[in-house]
Structure 1
Amino acid sequence: MSIQKILAIAGKPGLFELKIQTRTGFVAESLLDGKRITVSMRSNVSLLSEIAVYTYSEEVRLAEVFKAIATKENGGPTISHKEDDAKLKSYFREILPEFDEDRVYTSDIKKIFNWYNLLQPKGLVTVEALSKEETEAPAEESAK
């Protein structure tokens, strides 16, 4: 499993792994409880590999943010997404100093920390795993 197949589905808690595509949508498995759900094409779904964070100069891919957190925490879990807003922003500024504070909301930061802490025990946000994905992603894009 890689971050390339991890989904965030609007209205559903947690993250999901894309299992199979069907004629009317796809089947995804929850990373929280392992239950499978069917998701229609009308659902608002985001691949984590396609999400980026605004900075003052560019957009930084979520995988790079996860890699920065993993480096800071030596591959361990990060702070809870339930911490107070000031502490979350301060910590996020340590890992991504140039993030655009006008366009990156506290709710976005909370999601990032929550997602990281969901993926970390599964070994998906280690520095090695994310480095491997970064080298594979450009090859996939050039093949299109």
Structure 2
Amino acid sequence: MSVKEETLGMELLKEIANISGKSGLYRIMKPSRSGVIVESLNEKKEKTMIGPTARVSVLKDVSVFTEGEQDSVPLADIFLRIREQHGELVELDTKTASDKDLTEFLDGILPDFDRSRVYVSDIKKIIIWYNLLSQYAPAAFAEAAPEEPAAEAKDEVPTETEKVEEVPTEPTKAPAKKSKKG
């Protein structure tokens, strides 16, 4: 897998990271002076401080090497292809599946992946990450609602009943306190 600057789709992936030496995925919460605070993407939702020397890979910047016209394909695009073909969960067990089964899985998703630079361990990570995101961050796969063009909104003129009168407002004064004398 390679890191690529431009990644399309799945904006939530800019908040999700893999931390070298730690299993699972983490939601990036906020930076601090001594590193970054992350929350595990599982049922425990444990918050942890990750030091500045840790290798953190944001999923939005991860891509898979190909032999085709493109040098690599963003992980977000691969996740969307997996969703189209396998639904919410990849049933392939990464612990018991053979190397051939794992390679065939990715071949079905991305036929032109570079077999010399994408390892079986990378394919396992893709499946594990996909299943984690699908289970604990399903919003990553939600389709964005189509936005209305701004031009249409500007052309609309309120009807006579929709017009609101503008009433000038004057600053209000606080009521004077009554003294308790007398």
Do the structures match in fold with TM over 0.5? Answer: yes
1:113 to 127, 151, 157: 127
Cα deviation code 1:5-59 (max 9, x no counterpart): 0010011110000001101211000012210000111001100000010000311
2:56 to 41, 45, 53: 45
Query: Quick one: distance in 1 between partners of 2:89 and 2:123?
Result: 15
**CA contact 2:66–2:114 (8 Å) conserved in 1:** yes
Aligned residue number for residue 138 of structure 1: none
Aligned length: 130
Tell me the TM-score normalised to structure 2 length.
0.67
Aligned residue number for residue 110 of structure 2: 96
Query: Quick one: distance in 2 between partners of 1:84 and 1:8?
Result: 24
Aligned residue number for residue 74 of structure 2: 61
Unmatched runs of 5 consecutive residues or more in structure 1: 133-144
**CA contact 1:66–1:125 (8 Å) conserved in 2:** no
**CA contact 1:15–1:115 (8 Å) conserved in 2:** yes
Q: Which has the larger radius of gyration?
A: 2
Give aligned-pair identity as a percent: 35
Query: Quick one: distance in 1 between partners of 2:104 and 2:94?
Result: 13
CA 1:84 to 1:125, structure 2 compared with 1: closer, same or farther past 3 Å?
A: farther
2:89 to 69, 77, 93: 77
The 3-state SS of whatever aligns with 1:89 is helix
The 3-state SS of whatever aligns with 1:37 is strand
Hey, which of these two has a bigger chunk of helix by percent?
1
Cα deviation code 1:58-107 (max 9, x no counterpart): 11000011010001123x10123222211111011000000000000000
Query: Quick one: distance in 2 between partners of 1:127 and 1:98?
Result: 27
Work out whether 1:19 is the aligned partner of 2:53: no
Question: Which stretches of structure 1, 4 residues or more, deviate above 4 A after TM superposition?
Answer: none
CA RMSD of aligned residues (A): 1.9
The 3-state SS of whatever aligns with 2:78 is helix
Query: Quick one: distance in 1 between partners of 2:127 and 2:45?
Result: 21
Unmatched runs of 5 consecutive residues or more in structure 2: 1-10, 147-182
Query: Quick one: distance in 2 between partners of 1:10 and 1:59?
Result: 21
